[in-house]
Amino acid sequence: MNTKNLFCREIMLDSQELIIPRTTYQRTLNEDRVRKIAAEFGERIAMNSPIQGTAADIIKIAMIHVDQKLRERNLESRLILQIHDELLIETKESEIDEVTKILEHEMVAAAELRVPLIAEVKRGNSWYEAK
C-alpha cells in the first residue's frame, strides 16, 4: 500500500474511533465547527441562488429573442448551443454582420436592470477559436 493510501486509511480509522473527523491537516472538526461551516455554506447558497437563477432566466430570454429574429429575417444562421452565459451561433459568412447586430442587441435588451448588460461577440471557426 502506498504512503498516500496509508495516510488516508489512518485518518479514516482515527475518525471512526474518535467519531470526530480530522482534516488532512489534522485539524479536528468538532460539532460546533461543522455547524458553523454548514451555516456559512447555507448563507452562500441562499445569496447566490437568486443571482444564478436570474442570470439563467436572462440568457434564456436572449436566446429566445435571438432565435426569433434569425427566423423572422429568414437567415440561414442558427442558434445551436447555450453554454452558461454564452450563445453559440452557426453563421453563414454573408450573414455575420447582421447576426452580430442581432446578437448584441438581444443580449443587452434581454432584461432591464439598474446596471447595464454588456454583450461581447467573438468569432471563430470553432467555439475554442472564438473564446
Is residue 98 predicted with pLDDT exceeding 90? yes
How much is the pLDDT for 76?
96
Write down all domains in the chain, each with its CATH number in brackets.
Answer: 3-130 (3.30.70)
How much is the pLDDT for 2?
64
SS3 string, the chain, reads: CCHHHHHHHHHHHHHHHHCCCECCCCCECCHHHHHHHHHHHHHHHHHHHHHHHHHHHHHHHHHHHHHHHHHHCCCCCEEEEEECCEEEEECCHHHHHHHHHHHHHHHHCCCCCCCCCCCCCCCCCCHHHHC
Q: Could you tell me what percent of the chain has a pLDDT over 90?
A: 47
How much is the pLDDT for 63?
94
Cβ(68)–Cβ(74) below 8 Å: no
- Helix 96-108 and helix 31-72, axial crossing angle in degrees, nearest 10: 130
Q: Which residue has the higher pLDDT, 131 or 58?
A: 58
Is residue 66 predicted with pLDDT exceeding 90? yes
Reported as a single tens digit per residue, the pLDDT across 11-42 is: 666 666 655 555 555 555 567 777 788 888 88
Q: Name which of 104, 78, 102 is nearest 89 in CA terms.
A: 78
- Identify the residue whose cell numbers are 423572422: 72
Cβ(95)–Cβ(76) below 8 Å: yes
How much is the pLDDT for 69?
97
Q: Could you tell me what percent of the chain has a pLDDT over 70?
A: 78
Q: Which pTM value belongs to this model?
A: 0.67
